[in-house]
């Protein structure tokens, strides 16, 4: 999506034609509603998912995803991927937590693609996306194992329309294990590049969010991903118009539907290069699940307890962040010193994910450390697994 969407700048609202300069002006222009009949699943997958490293938006999505999903409960009874298109990366990324996965789309061709993947008839190769996900998870699984496990959890493919009531229009495929009815509400609803792409107006976006929220159980989660400030996206010779989304629209629509919009109540928003992800809770309760609280501060306290003498008597030899926080040194720590404490050399994957949280909380230049983190997570695939807590030497 990044690299293909046309972004309107304030001063070129009608003619912001970076894409035209790149030759996209020959694209057939389609309304959002035309996703139903004009979406070509093969062209879409080849444009954005063939190698995750080809599309920046996908890189960001796949990089952020494990961190966002990590905040969900260890076991999630039911998940719905709303407007999945022909993609299965969300179910794959959720396979270790989810017990029953439902997927859905508006376009018949996409639902067919989902069914053919579930039935192992898909011609698209998901291995690259799987290895990207497994690297970030620091798991040792092969793409084949990841997909097999995910397939075994798939319960149904649904025909959905976020502008209709009911949203679930019909069940187009059901697994043999699905003897019960399809749930009316799910513990987790994930929806990526869908709600703002399903419409072209703010009203439409609000309606789409309302529909998505109506499918979530009380106390359940919405995971939303998308692009801010884009008016179109294109692939396979077609340009689809979409709603130009602002962060304020996201917050307003969530609030209107009883979803948490503050960190206190369990809201998390991540953005990078206008791609965003958020995780929010219906009827917002506290999650009590903050890794920063669980890992970063206890370990800072541990460091202080073990190194009290150094911090007090020779603060210049102590960890600069600890010395500053505990008041023995007035010099603000340098960025590199902050990074040393966020990502100590012996950090395990969980600690690195905590570090990602800290970087996101700090924002600004700290956001640029993701690449390095990814490399560290890759390396950790072979070492330090199972270490629950980190220590600061
Ligand atoms: C850009 S694709 C995103 C696909 C996938 N979620 C992803 O992350 O790549 C947009 C998807 O939104 C779906 N969509 C469009 N209008 C919709 C509607 N009214 N209700 C539900 N889904 C819709 C389209 O069919 C399409 O699959």
Considering the domain architecture, whether residues 270 and 312 belong to the same structural domain is answered as no
What does the pLDDT read at residue 119? 97
Q: Do the domain assignments include residue 314?
A: yes
d(CA 147, CA 297): 37
Considering the domain architecture, whether residues 246 and 298 belong to the same structural domain is answered as no
| Cα of 243 from ligand 1 centre, angstroms | 13
Considering the domain architecture, whether residues 201 and 70 belong to the same structural domain is answered as yes
Q: Do the domain assignments include residue 325?
A: yes
Lining ligand 1 with CB less than 6 A are: 32, 35, 39, 83-85, 87, 105-107, 110, 160-163, 192-194, 197-198
What's the angle, vertex CA 235, arms to CA 279 and CA 193, rounded to 5?
Answer: 10
Considering the domain architecture, whether residues 267 and 150 belong to the same structural domain is answered as yes
| Cα of 86 from ligand 1 centre, angstroms | 9
Task: Residue 226: give the domain boundaries.
Answer: 6-281
Say whether pLDDT at 52 is over 70. Answer: no
pLDDT in tens, 209-261: 999 999 999 989 999 999 999 999 999 999 999 999 999 999 999 999 999 99
Q: Which of 263, 281, 299 is the last residue of a domain?
A: 281
d(CA 162, CA 184): 14
d(CA 68, CA 279): 7
What does the pLDDT read at residue 228? 95
| Mode of pairing for the β-strands spanning 98-105 and 76-81 | parallel
Say whether pLDDT at 309 is over 70. Answer: yes
Q: Which of 240, 260, 281 is the last residue of a domain?
A: 281
Handedness of CA 254, 256, 259, 260 (dihedral sign): positive
d(CA 172, CA 105): 10
Considering the domain architecture, whether residues 201 and 312 belong to the same structural domain is answered as no
Q: Which residue, judged by its Cα, is nearest atom 1 of ligand 1?
A: 193
Q: Do the domain assignments include residue 25?
A: yes
Q: Do the domain assignments include residue 33?
A: yes
More confidently predicted of 326 and 203 = 203
Considering the domain architecture, whether residues 323 and 264 belong to the same structural domain is answered as no
pLDDT band at 208 (very low <50, low <70, confident <90, very high): very high
Q: Do the domain assignments include residue 391?
A: no
Estimate to the nearest angstrom the gap between the alpha carbon of 71 and the chain centroid: 11
Specify the pTM: 0.73
The residue assigned the tokens 């206890």 is 298
Q: Among 194, 196, 223, 230, which is best to mutate for testing ligand 1, by the most ligand atoms less than 8 A from CB? A: 194
Closest among 369, 273, 368, 370 to 3, alpha carbons compared:
273
CATH number of residue 163's parent domain = 3.40.50.150
Mean pLDDT of the chain, nearest integer? 82
73, 281 Cβ separation under 8 angstroms: no
Considering the domain architecture, whether residues 240 and 320 belong to the same structural domain is answered as no
Considering the domain architecture, whether residues 259 and 374 belong to the same structural domain is answered as no
Q: Mean pLDDT: which of 22-31, 48-57, 75-84 is highest? A: 75-84
243, 202 Cβ separation under 8 angstroms: yes
What's the whole-number mean pLDDT along residues 129-151? Answer: 90
Considering the domain architecture, whether residues 192 and 242 belong to the same structural domain is answered as yes
Q: Among 83, 203, 230, 235, which is best to mutate for testing ligand 1, by the most ligand atoms less than 8 A from CB? A: 83
pLDDT in tens, 163-202: 999 999 999 999 987 767 899 999 999 999 999 999 999 9
> pLDDT above 70 covers what percent of the chain?
77
Considering the domain architecture, whether residues 266 and 350 belong to the same structural domain is answered as no
The residue assigned the tokens 């019909």 is 170
């Amino acid at each position: 999506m990044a690299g293909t969407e046309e972004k309107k700048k304030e001063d070129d609202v009608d003619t912001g034609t970076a894409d035209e300069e790149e030759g996209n002006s020959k694209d057939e222009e389609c309304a959002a509603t035309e996703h139903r009949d004009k979406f070509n699943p093969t062209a879409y997958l080849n444009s954005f998912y063939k190698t995750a490293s080809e599309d920046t938006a996908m890189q960001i999505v796949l990089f952020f995803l494990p961190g966002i999903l990590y905040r969900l409960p260890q076991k999630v009874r039911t998940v719905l991927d709303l407007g999945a298109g022909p993609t299965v990366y969300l179910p794959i990324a959720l396979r270790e937590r989810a017990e029953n996965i439902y997927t859905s789309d508006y376009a018949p061709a996409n639902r067919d693609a989902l069914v053919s993947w579930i039935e192992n008839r898909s011609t698209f190769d998901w291995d690259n996306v799987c290895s990207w996900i497994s690297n970030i998870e620091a798991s040792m699984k092969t793409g084949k194992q990841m997909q097999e496990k995910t397939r075994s959890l798939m319960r149904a493919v649904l025909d959905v329309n976020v502008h209709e009531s009911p949203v679930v229009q019909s069940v187009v495929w059901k697994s043999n294990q699905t003897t019960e009815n399809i749930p009316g509400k799910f513990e987790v609803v994930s929806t990526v590049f869908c709600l703002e792409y399903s419409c072209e107006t703010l009203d439409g976006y609000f309606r789409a969010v309302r529909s998505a929220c109506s499918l979530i159980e009380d106390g359940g989660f919405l995971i939303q991903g998308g692009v801010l400030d884009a008016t179109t996206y294109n692939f396979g010779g077609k340009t689809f118009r979409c709603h130009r989304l602002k962060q304020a629209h996201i917050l307003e629509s969530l609030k209107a539907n009883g979803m948490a919009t503050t960190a206190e109540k369990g809201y998390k928003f991540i953005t990078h290069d206008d791609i965003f992800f958020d995780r929010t809770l219906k009827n917002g309760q506290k999650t009590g699940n903050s890794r920063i609280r669980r890992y970063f501060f206890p370990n800072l306290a541990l460091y202080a307890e073990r190194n009290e003498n150094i911090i007090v008597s020779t603060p210049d030899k102590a960890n600069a962040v600890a010395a500053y926080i505990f008041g023995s040194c007035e010099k603000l720590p340098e960025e590199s010193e902050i990074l040393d404490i966020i990502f100590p050399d012996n950090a395990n994957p969980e600690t690195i994910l905590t570090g990602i949280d800290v970087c996101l909380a700090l924002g600004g230049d700290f956001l640029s450390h993701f690449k390095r983190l990814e490399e560290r997570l890759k390396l950790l695939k072979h070492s330090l697994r199972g270490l629950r807590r980190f220590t600061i030497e």
